[in-house]
Chains A and B, each alone.
Chain A
C-alpha cells in the first residue's frame, strides 16, 4: 500500500513537470532564499517584487496580459538555485529571471540563464566580478561595494573626523567586498587601518572581537553585516562600553534593525542604496503602498525586489513581445524611474544613475544626511 502511495507521488511528480500549455500571462521567475539563515532578507525581496507586480497589473499589465510572478526557493546555495532556475525555465516557461540573492548562487545560475538565452536581473548580488564575466544576459540593478565606497568614503572621513578605523565584516563575499572597498578608499584619504576582522554569519557573541577592538582604540568602526548579525554586533559594541562611532553597510535603515538594536542604534551611520526616509514624491508613494500592504516600511531589500521587477516588466513592455532577445535588448536601454532615482545599465549590465544615501539613525528613525547619484564604474 505504501509502495503504491510513493509510486503515485513519483508519477504525479513526473506528470506535473510536463510543460504548461498556452499562456495567458507573462511569467517572470524569481529565485530567492526562502528558507535557511538568509530567508529574512529573501522574504523582503519577494515582498517588494509582489508589490511591483501588483502595481503593474493594476495598470493593465504588459502586452495586454497580466504578469505572473513565480517564486522559487534557491536557499542561497548554487545547486538549489540551479534546480529552481531549471524548473522556472523548463516547466513554467518564464520569459525573464530575477535573482538570486547570494553572489555564489547568482554566479551559478548565470551560465544557466546564458545557455537558455534568458535575461537575468539581480537586485541584490554585489560581488564586483559578476558583471565582468561577459555574460550579455546578466543585469545587476544594485550597487556594488566599490560604488558605495566611492560615493561615501570622503563624506564619512570628513563628517566623522576619522583618523583610525577598525573594519569588521561578515565572512562572505559581500562582507569581505565591503571591508576591502571601504578600507581602500578610506586609506587613500589618509585614514589608518588599525584592525580588520571577519566573523561567520550566525555568530552571536562578539565580546572577544570587541576586546581586540577596544585595545586597538579606533575612532570609528566600519561594519559590514546584515540585520541579524549587525544588530547583535552594534548592541554589544555599546555593552562593552565602547563609544566609537559606528558606520557601515547593510540593511540598517529598517524598523526591524532599529527595534532589535534598541538604543545602541542611536547615532550610527549606514550607507545604503535605499532608505524609506528618502524625500522624493516617488519614494513617498512607494513607502505608502508598501506600508499599507505589509504593515512595515520597506528596507533596502524590499526596494531591491520592487525595482528589479519593475525593470523587468518595463523591459518586456518595451520589447513588445516575449522574445528573450528583444527583452535583453530593451533591458540594455533601461531608464527606470525608481523610488530612489533613475536606473540605467552600462554595456556590462551594471546599473548606475540611482541615488545612494548615507543615513544616521536619530531617535529611532533613519535620517538622510547625504545623498549622491551612483556613477557608472570606470
Chain B
C-alpha cells in the first residue's frame, strides 16, 4: 500500500500529459469529425521543430514555444484549406485516407530532413528530483502539468467566451445556419484545424523536453489520443481531461499492481467497455445519431 501515493501521482501526471496531447484531437476529431491519423505527426512536428528552434536558432524554451505555435498554426491552416476542405462533408473515409497519407508523408519527410536520431529539446529548467514526502516528481514535470492545465483552460475559454469560439460552436452545430447567419464557415473550419494542430504541436514540444523528440513517435500518440477523446466524449474539453486522467491512472495502477508488459492494453479495453455501456463517452451529453 505504501506504493499507492507514488502510483497515483504518476498516474495523475501521465493523465494530464495524455489530456494535453489529446487536446488538439478533441477539436479536430471531436468537433470537426475528421478521424485525423496525422494527429501524432503534428505532435511529432512540434517536438522536432522545438528541437530546431532551441538547438539551431538558440531560442530559450518559452520563446521557442511561441515560434513553434505560430509555425504550426500556419501549417494547420494550410492543411485544412488545401486538403481537409476538399473532403469535408463526405463521411469518415476520405478523411481517414487523406490523413493516413499525410501522416506517411510527414513522418518520412521528417526522416529525410532531420534523420532518425532521437533529438533532445532543452527543457525550461533543471531536471533533478523533488520529493513530497514519499512522492518523487521533477520540476519539469510539474511545469508541464501547469502549462498543460493552462492550455486546457485557455482552449476552453477560447471556445466558450470569444466570438471565434461562438462561431465555432455555431458552425459545428449547424454549418448551413451558421453560414446563413453570416459566419464565414470556411475560415472557422480552418481556424479550428489550425488551433487543433497548434495544441498538438505545443504538447509535442513540451513533452519532448521531458522525453525526446523523434520522427517515429506519432503512431502511438495518435492511438492514445483517440482513446482519450472517445473515453471523455467527443468534443468535450472537460471530457478530454477526464479521459486523460482515467487512462493515466488506470495504466499506472495496472502497471504497478499487475504487469508492465500489457499496460497499453488498458486504454483499448476501456474504449471497448465505454462504447458498450455508454457510447456517448463519459462527459458528452448528447447521444450520437447515425
Contacts and interface: CB of A to CB of B under 8 A. Distances in A.
A136 to B, nearest CB: 34
Interface stretch (B87-95, B182-190, B252-260, B273-281): B252-260
A49 to B, nearest CB: 16
Nearest to B248: A205
A199 B13 CA distance: 19
A215 B116 contact: no
Interface stretch (A32-40, A92-100, A144-152, A328-336): A32-40
Interface in B1-58: 2-3, 6-7, 10-11, 13-14, 17
A40 B260 contact: no
Nearest to B251: A208
B222 to A, nearest CB: 12
Interface in A214-232: 214-215, 227-228, 231-232
Contacts of A198: 260-261
Contact of A43 (B3, B11, B115, B217): B115
A291 interface: no
Interface residues of B, number: 40
Contact of A207 (B10, B117, B214): B10
A208 B260 contact: yes
Contacts of A260: 118, 120, 212
A77 to B, nearest CB: 14
Main secondary structure of the interface of A (DSSP, over half): helix
Given A202-B217, A228-B212, A260-B118, A241 B256 contact: no
Interface stretch (B126-134, B151-159, B229-237): B126-134
B256 A204 contact: no
A70 to B, nearest CB: 19
Contact of A200 (B6, B115, B116, B264): B264
B211 A232 contact: yes
Contacts of A43: 115-116
Given A40-B118, A205-B17, 5 more contacts: A35-B107, A211-B10, A239-B138, A260-B118, A262-B127
Interface of B: 2-3, 6-7, 10-11, 13-14, 17, 107-108, 111, 115-118, 120, 127-129, 131, 136, 138, 207, 211-212, 214-217, 220, 251-252, 255-256, 259-261, 263-264
